[in-house]
Amino acid sequence: MNEERCEFGTSTEGRYVAQLRLPGWSQSKLQEASVLIIGVGGLGQPAALYLTAMGIGRLLLIDPDQVEEANLHRQPLYTPAHLQQLKVEVLAHHLCLLRPDLKVETYPYWADEKLLEEVGSTTDIWIDGTDNIQSRLAISRAALRLGKPWVYGSVYQWEGQVALIEGLAYEEFFGEIAESPSCSQGGVLGSLPGLVGAWQASLAVLYLQGLFSNLRNRLFRIDLSQGIADAFFLASFSAMPLEISAAQALAYPDAVWIDLREQLNPPLPVPSLQSKWHEWESWQLPLSPVILVCERGERSRFVAYALRHKTQRKDIHSLRGGAPALLAHFLT
């Protein structure tokens, strides 16, 4: 662990004038608070920048990675001069320039549950800036044990999701989860992580301020390709998993399969209906169990979750891994 106490070098008088005019705002609550950020890439970097600018007192940064060229299009604080340097050290240096009174601690390690419990026990809220399911589940389990709230965030191509989670396990509302593609694997618009990371910082700050408790345990989602945004309260579907495997889906003899893919090639190896995923609110659903299939399982998971909330049905499922997983099942 490297702790960096930035020295006072500039006056902060007037810095927070606009914030102080907000109804119910207390700047001292931020100055006395601490936040743990796990992963300081596309999501964690903008979250750290905005938390620092808004006046957080202490930041703890966890990330074992070094800056790579492929990071630069969505992590604009890092430059070619920073290649092969530890992200946490580069970011901490910049944050101290931005806020000389900030206290920063850096941990260039993999975020397992032991480290999270050791480091995160002294902080008020955590922000998930990771892009892999192992880290996200570790965050969820450690946060539950310590009673810590955390802000989930994820991006995929044109879509982003955010949730301020408190007292719920990640698996409870997303079901049994498979690994999703990373930004490098699935692709992402360079500006989207900045939007989602700033959103995460905003939810963390509102929590620390004690404002708008209705924001807790809600899933917020934005899709830039359709120009839409949605929000749903999180609920547990542990008895009937939201996401199921191809083998589990095929065990439903009377299930209706709905193909959400924009390009229906190759065709699914089961009889299916075709529907536009962004028109889900107007669908007339069959009475039989429903299996939703998309390219990789991302959109189908969201639509299945939304439909469960709308209909109060628990027999609506997303196919884990999408169409490729179903096709692979038939080839084995």
What are the residue ranges spanned by the domains of the chain? 2-233, 243-326
pTM: predicted TM-score of the whole model, two decimal places: 0.74
Q: Tell me the pLDDT tens digit for each residue of 152-195.
A: 999 988 889 999 999 888 877 765 555 566 666 678 898 999 99
Gap between the Cα atoms of 178 and 311, Å rounded: 25
Gap between the Cα atoms of 322 and 190, Å rounded: 24
Looking at residue 140, what is its pLDDT? 93
Looking at residue 176, what is its pLDDT? 52
What is the identity of the amino acid at 234? L
Looking at residue 12, what is its pLDDT? 58
Class in CATH terms, 2-233: alpha beta
Gap between the Cα atoms of 94 and 49, Å rounded: 9
| Segments of the chain scoring below 70 in pLDDT | 1-13, 174-185, 235-239
| Helix-then-strand count for the chain, H and E | 12, 14
Looking at residue 230, what is its pLDDT? 82
Looking at residue 146, what is its pLDDT? 93
CATH number of the domain located at residue range(s) 243-326 in this protein: 3.40.250.10
Looking at residue 37, what is its pLDDT? 98
Q: Tell me the pLDDT tens digit for each residue of 238-275.
A: 557 788 888 888 887 788 999 999 888 899 999 999 99
Gap between the Cα atoms of 164 and 149, Å rounded: 7
Nearest to 158 by CA among 262, 77, 47: 262
Nearest to 261 by CA among 183, 324, 174: 324
Alpha helices (runs of H) in 37-132, residue ranges in sequence order: 44-54, 87-98, 113-120
Looking at residue 6, what is its pLDDT? 58
